[in-house]
């Protein structure tokens, strides 16, 4: 393999800022950066965590078995880190999220839900006594768990779940059943053949009455033999678009009995005689899902960082389509159209990461307030988590695909790693709440608070822009400044919420029920929720990136200001129809925005490679022939072709068995 590709080396030498400075900022500070490097060395230097051949050539069974093998090695390392007191949240994020974890388990970790859902659910919804009973076993992996909520017939619509848990006061047990095929649990990661326990979400019945949904800890398999227990029908659901190593499973239950104490009762209780004690707030039972949605926002930033790194490095090396026929073919990154594909994805990665970090901190503060019984901001947090989950995942999936397309035919190859990144990223649009349903949940909150604002009530900070918009007849003096673009987003969002509110109200006045009025107004509601999310992201980008600029060198601050301007101008132009509808923009105003967008691309061009280098993604994490740090794209592509098992023999057996008889048949 040759040394560094000269084109990519030139890009690094001509950058105007020090990538290491932004790497430390991106990592969360010097200490977290050092911890990241230690963790990388711990895992990436272990030869046991390498694959014997590219996993795209594995069968489904081989991939699962190899994934379990490596997941257990990672689990053992986590166990040791925990014993040494070095297992912070960032460790789990790295090992189970889309960064370091994907270097080891490209198609997902079959133990991931044990750490990401099973343990947090026990911590968030179990009593102190239940935590004492279950957590030590789960942390030590004496039991392996998953989270079984989604069913074959129902997903995001939780009230439609059919799995039943009937309380038998005589024996003080719950009897669990999946009464129909559509009631079978379907999709939980690790459920197929890995987990021996699950948190099962089911309809709760006591004294013959339906009480709502409740979580139950259910043992699925024998602790020694791993055989399914009586009444348990369990298996793997099969191959998927992505996340092929996660071992998603199905679960049927037939008269499975569990003790009373196996219902997690921090928020709601069933007493031995069957008396039901309702939760103070129904939203409390959704705490685990809100926790995961907060984490997802940061995962989308990682996906965009990976895709944009691969595509940007490739675009620095690939030369094609002369601009001047008398000159050498240019780097394709010199084409403005290529820059428009790549650079907004880099900007989104940075904005989503900053927003995700800020939102995660807000979630932790809110969790403390909830523990103290203060539920005031819970509806706001839930609405924003739903909205950001939907927008960030949709943008990330589209951004990954844009980056793949920017690499032409080579982006279609498995060795580019785009198929795996896309398969993993687009899944986020569906799991932990399908995106349209998430937007509708946000919209329900927005319509409610809009009604409050009409009565003069001052709203909480993230929707206070509605109060401001109600004071204005028109948005005047659009000067195109960054602050003005943010304010304009908020004004447009407020008006989209107004339109949705009026549509729902109009249908109510026509005699429709509140539920039917909302259903008939669904397009208006989702559109309002999306604009609310866009306004939230615009405000977050403005606040967080300006704060970053105050912490860094002038050289890096200049680059971050270009990133901020690119993000806001691009976001504005992408919703220009809504802006024109509610703000009196002229043709000249729009043209100025388009020219500014192109100018941002030009200004970011010299630092594009340095910016993606700053994401500090190890070559094993990228796992891409197109995106390796050394830039030797063609050598890596050819090397990957040599690993193809078909190329191990000059003549495949199919020639003699099929092709030759076919070709000679009429001679």
Catalytic site positions: 432
- Placement of tokens 């950066």 in the chain: 33
Burial of 135 per CB tally in 10 Å (0-12, 13-18, 19+)? middle
- CA torsion angle 197 294 574 340 (round to 10): -80
Tell me the DSSP string of 370-412.
Answer: HHTT--TTHHHHHHHHHHHHHHHHHHHHHHHHHHHHHTGGGGG
CB atoms inside a 10 Å sphere around CB 210: 10
Whether 543 and 462 have beta carbons less than 8 Å apart is answered as no
Terminal CA-CA length for the chain: 48
Whether 216 and 285 have beta carbons less than 8 Å apart is answered as no
Alpha carbon 563 to chain centroid distance? 22
Alpha carbon 529 to chain centroid distance? 19
Between CA 365 and CA 360 the distance in angstroms is 9
Query: Would you tell me the crossing angle of helices 378-406 and 336-371 to the nearest 10 degrees?
Result: 160
Name the DSSP letter for residue 223.
Answer: T
CA–CA distances in Å: residue 514 to residues 383, 506, 526: 19, 11, 16
Helices (H) and strands (E) in the chain, counts: 26, 11
Between CA 313 and CA 318 the distance in angstroms is 9
Nearest alpha-carbon partner for 569 in 542, 597, 588, 541: 597
Between CA 51 and CA 102 the distance in angstroms is 13
318 phi, psi to nearest 5 deg:
-70, 130
Whether 247 and 64 have beta carbons less than 8 Å apart is answered as yes
Give the pairing type, strands 173-177 and 164-168.
antiparallel
Between CA 191 and CA 247 the distance in angstroms is 7
Q: Which residues contact 105 (CB under 8 A, 6 or more apart)?
A: 67, 70, 71, 74, 245
Report residue 428 as tokens.
């986020």
Burial of 201 per CB tally in 10 Å (0-12, 13-18, 19+)? buried
Residue 108 Ramachandran class (φ > 0 left, ψ -120 to 50 alpha, else beta): left
Alpha carbon 549 to chain centroid distance? 27
Give the pairing type, strands 185-186 and 232-236.
unpaired
Between CA 567 and CA 385 the distance in angstroms is 21
Residue 207 Ramachandran class (φ > 0 left, ψ -120 to 50 alpha, else beta): left
Query: Would you tell me the crossing angle of helices 554-574 and 482-509 to the nearest 10 degrees?
Result: 30
């Amino acid at each position: 393999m040759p040394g560094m590709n000269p084109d990519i080396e030139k890009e690094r030498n001509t950058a105007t800022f020090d990538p290491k400075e932004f790497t430390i900022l991106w990592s969360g500070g010097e200490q977290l950066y050092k911890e990241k490097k230690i963790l990388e060395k711990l895992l990436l230097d272990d030869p046991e965590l390498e694959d014997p051949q590219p996993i795209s050539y594995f069968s489904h069974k081989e991939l699962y078995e190899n994934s379990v093998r490596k997941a257990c090695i990672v689990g053992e390392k986590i166990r040791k880190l925990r014993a040494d007191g070095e297992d912070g949240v960032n460790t789990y994020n790295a090992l189970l999220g889309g960064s370091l974890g994907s270097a080891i388990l490209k198609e997902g970790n079959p133990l991931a839900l044990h750490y990401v859902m099973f343990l947090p659910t026990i911590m968030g919804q179990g009593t102190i006594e239940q935590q004492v009973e279950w957590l030590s076993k789960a942390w030590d992996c004496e039991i392996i768990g998953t989270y079984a909520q989604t069913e074959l017939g129902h997903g995001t619509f939780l009230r439609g779940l059919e799995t039943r848990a009937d309380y038998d006061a005589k024996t003080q047990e719950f009897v669990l059943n999946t009464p129909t095929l559509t009631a079978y649990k379907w999709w939980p990661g690790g459920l197929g053949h890995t987990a021996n326990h699950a948190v099962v979400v089911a309809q709760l019945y006591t004294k013959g009455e339906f009480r709502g949904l409740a979580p139950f800890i259910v043992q699925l398999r024998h602790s020694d033999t791993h055989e399914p227990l009586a009444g348990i029908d369990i298996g793997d659901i099969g191959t998927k678009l992505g996340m092929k190593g996660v071992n998603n499973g199905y679960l049927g239950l037939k008269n499975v009995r569990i003790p009373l104490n196996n219902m997690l009762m921090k928020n709601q209780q069933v007493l031995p005689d069957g008396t039901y004690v309702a939760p103070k707030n129904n939203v409390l039972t959704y705490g685990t899902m809100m926790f995961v949605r907060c984490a997802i926002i940061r995962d989308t930033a990682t996906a965009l960082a990976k895709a944009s790194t691969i595509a940007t490095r490739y675009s620095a090396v690939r030369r094609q389509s002369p601009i001047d026929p008398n000159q050498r073919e240019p780097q394709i990154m010199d084409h403005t159209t290529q820059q428009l594909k790549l650079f907004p994805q880099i900007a989104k990665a940075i904005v989503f990461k900053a927003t995700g970090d800020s939102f995660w901190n807000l979630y932790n503060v809110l969790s403390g307030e909830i523990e103290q019984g203060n539920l005031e901001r819970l509806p706001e947090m839930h609405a924003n988590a739903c909205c950001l989950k939907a927008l960030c995942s949709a943008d990330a999936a589209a951004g990954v695909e844009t980056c793949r397309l920017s690499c032409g035919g080579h982006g279609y190859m498995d060795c580019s790693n785009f198929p795996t990144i896309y398969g993993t990223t687009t899944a986020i649009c569906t799991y932990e709440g399908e995106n349209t349903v998430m937007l509708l949940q946000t919209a329900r909150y927005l319509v409610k608070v809009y009604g409050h604002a009409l009565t003069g009530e001052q709203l909480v900070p993230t929707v206070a822009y509605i109060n401001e918009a109600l004071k204005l007849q028109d948005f005047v003096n659009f000067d195109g400044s960054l602050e003005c673009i943010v304010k304009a987003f908020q004004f447009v969002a407020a008006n989209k919420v107004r339109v949705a509110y009026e549509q729902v109200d109009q249908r109510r006045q026509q005699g429709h029920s509140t539920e039917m009025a909302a259903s008939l107004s669904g397009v208006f509601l989702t559109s309002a929720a999306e604009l609310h999310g866009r306004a939230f992201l615009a405000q977050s980008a403005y606040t967080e990136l300006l704060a970053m600029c105050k912490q860094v060198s002038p050289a890096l601050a200049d680059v971050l200001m270009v990133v901020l301007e690119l993000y806001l101008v691009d976001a504005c132009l992408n919703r220009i129809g809504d802006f024109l509808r509610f703000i009196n923009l002229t043709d000249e105003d729009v043209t100025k925005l388009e020219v500014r967008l192109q100018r941002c691309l030009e200004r970011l061009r010299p630092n594009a490679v340095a910016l993606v280098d700053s994401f500090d993604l190890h070559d094993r994490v990228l796992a891409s022939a197109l995106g390796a740090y050394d830039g030797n794209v063609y050598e890596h592509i050819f090397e990957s072709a040599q690993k193809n098992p078909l190329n191990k023999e000059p003549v495949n057996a199919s020639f003699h068995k099929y092709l030759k008889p076919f070709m000679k048949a009429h001679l």
